[in-house]
Structure 1
Amino acid sequence: MSGRRLQALVVEDEMTIALMIEDMLTDLGHQVVAMAMRLPQALELAKTSEIDFVVLDVNLDGHMSFAVADALIERGVPFVFVTGYGAAGVDPKYRHQGIVLQKPFDLADLEKAIERLPPR
C-alpha cells in the first residue's frame, strides 16, 4: 500500500496518541483526513469518509470498535487495529480482517503495518 500518498482516518480515544499517529502518518507521506475519538463519530466517518485506510484503536473510551471494523469491511477499506493487548485484544472474528499493531509502536512498525494492508 505504500509508494503513494494515502488518505487516512485515525480512530483513537487518547488525544496524545492520536496526534502521535497523525505525525507518524505525515512523516510517512500520508494525509490524515479525519480523526475520531468516540465510537459514534468513528462509525459515521468510517461510513462516509473518502479514505484509503484506517488506524483503528480497538477500545474507544470503554467501547469496542468492532462495529467500525464492520463498516470498513463492508466498504472494502483496509485497517490497522491498534491495541495494548496485541492480537489477544482483538475478537477472533476480526483477526484475519485487519493488521494488528501492538501499542506502543514506532514509525517503522506503523510503516510495516501499512505496507501489509491490501490495496483498496
Structure 2
Amino acid sequence: MDVEQLCRDHGAQEVVIARDLTEIDDQKVATQFDAAIVDLMLGGTSTLEFAAGLRETGMPFVFASGYSDADEIRTSFPGVRLVTKPYSGEDLVEAVAAAYGRGSPG
C-alpha cells in the first residue's frame, strides 16, 4: 500500500515520508503538519520518544506498525490508536480522521 498516495487521495495537500528519525525536524512537524502517522520503528530505531514529543505539542497522530506488543502503546499512549499491519487503507484513514477529530474513534 502506498501510504503517501492514500493520504493524497483523502485530501492531504502535503505528505512527507521519513525513513529515519534523522530526517525529521521536530519543530517543523509541530508547525507545518496537521497530523502524523508514526511507525514504531524507523531505521531500526524506536519512535516512542518522537511520539511523546508529538503528544506534548498536541499534534494528532496514530501509530501504524507491525509491532506486536500493543500493551506498551496502550500504557504509554492511552487514547492513541495503533493500526496494525497489515491494515487496509480505510482503517488507516479512519484512524487519522478520528485522531484529528474528523471521524469516529476506533
**Residue 50 (structure 2) pairs with residue 90 (structure 1):** no
Aligned counterparts of 1:64 and 1:91: Cα–Cα separation in 2: 16
**DSSP 3-state at the match of 2:14:** strand
- CA displacement 1:27-75 (0-9 Å, x = unmatched): 1111234221111223x2x322311000100011221101211221121
Give the TM-score normalised by the residue count of structure 1.
Answer: 0.70
Q: Which amino acid aligns with 2:23?
A: Q
Do the aligned partners of residues 104 and 67 (structure 1) sit closer, same or farther apart at CA in structure 2, a change above 3 Å counting? same
Q: Percent identity?
A: 28
Could you say if the C-alpha distance between residues 27 and 79 of structure 1 is closer, same or farther in structure 2, counting changes exceeding 3 Å? same
Q: Which moved more, 1:109-118 or 1:51-60?
A: 109-118
Match for residue 58 of structure 1 among 31, 40, 45: 40
Give the structure 2 partner of residue 111 of structure 1.
93
Output the CA distance in 2 between the equivalents of 1:62 and 1:91.
Answer: 21
CA distance in 2, matches of 1:82, 1:88: 15
Judging changes above 3 Å, is the alpha-carbon distance between structure 1 residues 97 and 65 closer, same or farther for their aligned structure 2 residues?
farther
- In the other structure, the counterpart of 1:76 is 58
After superposition, the Cα gap between the structure-2 partners of 1:33 and 1:115, relative to the gap in structure 1 and judged at 3 Å, is: closer
Q: Secondary structure at the match of 1:55?
A: strand
Aligned residues: 98
Unaligned segments of structure 2, at least 5 residues: 102-106
